[in-house]
Structure formats: C-alpha cells, structure tokens
C-alpha cells in the first residue's frame, strides 16, 4: 500500500461502507474489516477500480478474542501503517436484558467495546510515533441518555465509549492524533434489520432519520477539525440540548415512554448455560 491507509471495521454495510467510500474518494488505501467476506471483496473491487487505490479485505469476527491481535500482527508483518482508524462495527440486541443469554452480551461487549479499545491501543503508538493519526469511534446518541428495556446494555456501552474517547482525545492533545466520538441518531442502514426491529422502527417520524453518507462525512469533518464529539443533524443537536436541560427523572420518563413504542422489550428470560 503506497498511499496513507485507513482501516474501517464493519465496512460491509451502512455507515462503515459510507466511510470506506468517502475515504477512497479522498485517496486513502483501505483495510476493510467485517465477517461477510464476499460483500467486502465486491466493495473492495469496486472502490479500487473507481478510485485507483489499494483495498485489502479482512474477513474477521471481532467477537473472537484473538481477532484484533491477529489482524494487527498480519498488518505489521506486511508493513501496513494505519493513519485513519474507524471503529464502526456494531449491532443491537433486541429484547430486555434478561431475554438474551449471557454469552450474547459477552460477544456484544467484545465487538462494541473491547475490540474498539484493543484496536485503538494497538494502532495508536504508530500514529503517535509518526505524529499523525485520526481515530473515529462510532458511538450513538444513546450514550447520552438512559435507554429503555431493549436497549439496556447498548446505551451503557456507548456511554463508556464516549467517555473513553473523550479521555483519550485529551491524552492525545498535541500529538497530531485526533480522536472523535461519532454519536448519530437513527440512521438508514441494515442495523434495524439485523436487530429485527425494522417494522417497529418504521413508525418513527421521518425527521428523526439520518442518511449514512451524511453521518460519515460529518464525522470525517469533525475529526479533521479536532472535535471530540460529532452529533450529526440539527434535530439531534437540539434534542440533546433539551434533554440536558430538563431534570433527570423527567428525562428518564420521556425516553422510556417514547422508547417503548419502538423497542422490543420482551420480558421472557432465558437461562444462561
Ligand atoms: N443505524 C443506526 O440507527 C445507528 C445509530 C447510532 C449508532 N449506530 C452505530 O453505527 C455503527 C454501524 O452500524 P450500522 O448502522 O451501519 O449497521 P449495519 O448496516 O448493520 O452495519 C454493521 C456493520 O458491523 C459489522 N459487524 C457486526 N458484527 C460484527 C462482528 N462480530 N465482527 C466484525 N464486524 C461486525 C457488519 O458486518 P458483517 O455482518 O459483515 O460482519 C456491518 O458491516 C454501529 O456501531 C452502531 O452501533 C447506528
């Protein structure tokens, strides 16, 4: 790879795919990570032809505890130096906290938080050494509010990701590395198909929906300008200000009331073996 390299996790669809397309347009060589290898190969072949860049495809399951270490060691062996890291891979788990076995939650935390922290930890030293790097952690507006049943761990993980990113951004100040937490609201992607909540979600008003392309471009712009948080769309910026201004009990009541109309909060507990 002869150009600066950007690594995008969850590049096989949605927001991650948009990041890959925009970074290709900017002239980055790409490392695309996700589980669906065929999809990644198709995307890589289209982007490399269209933008004359090199695309490397990495079919990895980030729920596997060895995935990040193996990936980074393969990149190091081949002399690939990552300048832009987009930690985007993620999904939601439907139902109340007890309606999923512990193993599902464990995998969820691994993909949405542990793998993010580990990739950052393994790639940041090189960025600091070269005096240039960009890291975008794809979080969510859910990280700023207590959720409802059906979103219990998701919001908590995104809140942890926000605080981690904020602290890391402060730690990296002056090093040439910018770290940004991207906090989108509802975005048109495959996310709600994977969670199985598409039908309920289609009841949400149109003005709450964001386009994935816009979400990715706002994030790249915010990160370039050294912003720690990026909340795409005026609707969500306003919503967050209102939620911050009202007392916490009222905020929790409002979020729970609204959330129950579109979240799957099924209560049937499952036994963890
Ligand atoms: N859509 C929204 O409304 C919304 C709102 C706020 C935040 N977000 C966040 O945005 C990020 C991207 O989601 P999206 O909306 O673009 O959904 P998406 O279209 O379903 O994309 C999710 C991506 O994550 C990858 N992924 C999932 N599990 C993985 C695993 N175990 N190992 C490797 N890759 C994995 C998927 O690839 P494979 O299936 O091929 O592995 C896919 O490329 C997530 O972190 C999500 O929490 C989404």
CA of 212 to the centre of ligand 1 (A): 11
Distance CA 217, CA 37 (A): 25
Top mean-pLDDT range of 74-83, 196-205, 248-257: 74-83
The rounded distance, in Å, linking the Cα atoms of 208 and 138 is 18
**Helical packing angle, 152-171 and 115-130, nearest 10°:** 20
Atom of ligand 1 nearest to the CA of 188: 1
Q: What is the CA radius of gyration of the chain?
A: 18
pLDDT for 265: 61
Do 162 and 181 meet the contact criterion of CB atoms below 8 Å apart? yes
In the chain, the domains with their CATH numbers are 5-259 (3.40.50.720)
Which pLDDT band holds residue 264 (cuts at 50, 70, 90)? low
Distance CA 75, CA 163 (A): 28
Relative to beta strand 29-34, strand 133-138 is unpaired
Return the pLDDT at 35. 98
> What is the model's pLDDT at position 192?
84
Q: What is the pLDDT of residue 111?
A: 98
Q: Does ligand 1 have an atom closer than 6 angstroms to the CB of 14? A: yes
Span from the CA of 97 to the centroid of ligand 1 (angstroms):
20
Q: Is 262 a catalytic residue?
A: no
Nearest C-alpha to atom 1 of ligand 1 is from which residue?
Answer: 187
State the pLDDT confidence band at 204, using cuts at 50, 70 and 90.
confident
Indicate if ligand 1 lies below 6 Å from the C-beta of 201: no
> What is the percentage of the chain residues whose pLDDT exceeds 90?
78
Residues 6+ away with beta carbon under 8 Å from 83: 4, 5, 6, 28, 127, 130, 132, 133, 134
Nearest CA to 9 out of 110, 104, 138 is that of 138
63 Cβ below 6 A of ligand 1: yes
* Rounded CA separation 182/25 (Å): 20
Say if ligand 1 is within 6 A of residue 138 CB: yes
pLDDT (tens digit per residue) in 11-61:
999 999 999 999 999 999 999 999 999 999 999 999 999 999 999 999 999
Task: Work out the average pLDDT over 67-84.
Answer: 98
Q: For residue 75, what pLDDT band results from cuts at 50, 70 and 90?
A: very high
CB 181 near ligand 1, within 6 Å: no
Q: pTM for the full model? A: 0.95
200 in helix, strand or coil? helix
Q: Residue with the nearest Cα to atom 43 of ligand 1? A: 10
Instruction: State the average pLDDT over residues 201-214.
Output: 89
State the pLDDT confidence band at 271, using cuts at 50, 70 and 90. Answer: confident
Name the active-site residue from 28, 91, 97, 154.
Answer: 154
Lowest mean pLDDT among 35-44, 119-128, 213-222, 254-263: 254-263
8 Å CB contact between 138 and 189: no
Can you tell me whether residue 38 is helix, strand or coil? Answer: helix
Which ligand 1 atom minimizes the distance to the CA of 139?
Answer: 7
Average of pLDDT values for 251-265? 75
Assess whether the C-beta atom of 143 lies below 6 angstroms from ligand 1. no
∠ CA 257-216-24, rounded to 5°? 155
Ligand 1 center–CA 247 separation, angstroms: 32
Residue 37 Cα to ligand 1 middle (Å): 15
Query: In percent, how much of the chain has pLDDT > 70?
Result: 95
Q: Residue 151: count other Cβ atoms within 10 Å of its Cβ.
A: 27
Q: pLDDT digits over 139-148, tens only? A: 999 999 876 6
Q: How far apart are CA 124 and CA 167, in angstroms?
A: 14
For residues 70-96, average pLDDT: 96
More confident residue, 256 or 35: 35
Does residue 170 carry a pLDDT above 80?
A: yes
Over range 212-239, report the average pLDDT.
98
Q: Residue 18's pLDDT is what?
A: 98
Kindly compute the dihedral angle of the four CA atoms of residues 193, 185, 247, 158, in this order, to the nearest 10 degrees.
Answer: 70
User: pLDDT at residue 150 above 80?
Assistant: no
Closest CA to 118 of 73, 176, 80, 149: 73
What is d(CA 32, CA 47) in angstroms, rounded to the nearest whole number? 11
């Amino acid at each position: 790879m002869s150009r600066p390299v950007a690594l995008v996790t969850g590049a096989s669809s949605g927001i991650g795919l948009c990041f890959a397309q925009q970074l290709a347009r900017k002239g980055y060589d790409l490392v695309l990570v996700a589980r669906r290898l065929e999809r990644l190969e198709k995307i890589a072949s289209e982007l490399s032809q269209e933008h004359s860049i090199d695309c490397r495809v990495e079919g990895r399951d980030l729920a596997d505890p060895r995935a990040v270490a193996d990936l980074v060691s393969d990149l190091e062996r081949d002399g690939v130096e990552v300048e832009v890291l987009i930690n985007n891979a993620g999904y939601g788990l439907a139902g109340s906290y007890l309606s999923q076995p512990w193993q599902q939650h464990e995998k969820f935390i691994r993909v949405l938080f542990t793998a993010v922290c580990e990739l950052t930890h393994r790639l940041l030293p090189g960025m600091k050494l070269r005096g240039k790097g960009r890291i975008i952690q794809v979080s969510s507006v859910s990280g700023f509010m207590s959720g409802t049943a059906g979103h219990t761990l998701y919001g908590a993980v995104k809140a942890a990701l926000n605080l981690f990113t904020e602290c890391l951004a402060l730690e990296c100040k002056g090093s040439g590395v910018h770290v940004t937490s991207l906090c989108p609201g509802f975005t048109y992607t495959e996310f709600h198909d994977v969670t199985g909540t598409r039908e309920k979600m289609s009841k949400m008003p149109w003005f709450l929906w964001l386009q994935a392309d816009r979400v990715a471009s706002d994030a790249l712009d915010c990160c370039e300008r050294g912003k720690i948080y990026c909340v795409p769309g005026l609707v969500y910026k306003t919503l967050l200000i209102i939620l911050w201004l009202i007392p916490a009990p009222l905020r929790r009541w409002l979020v729970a009331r609204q959330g129950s109309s579109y979240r799957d909060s099924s209560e049937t507990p499952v036994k963890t073996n």
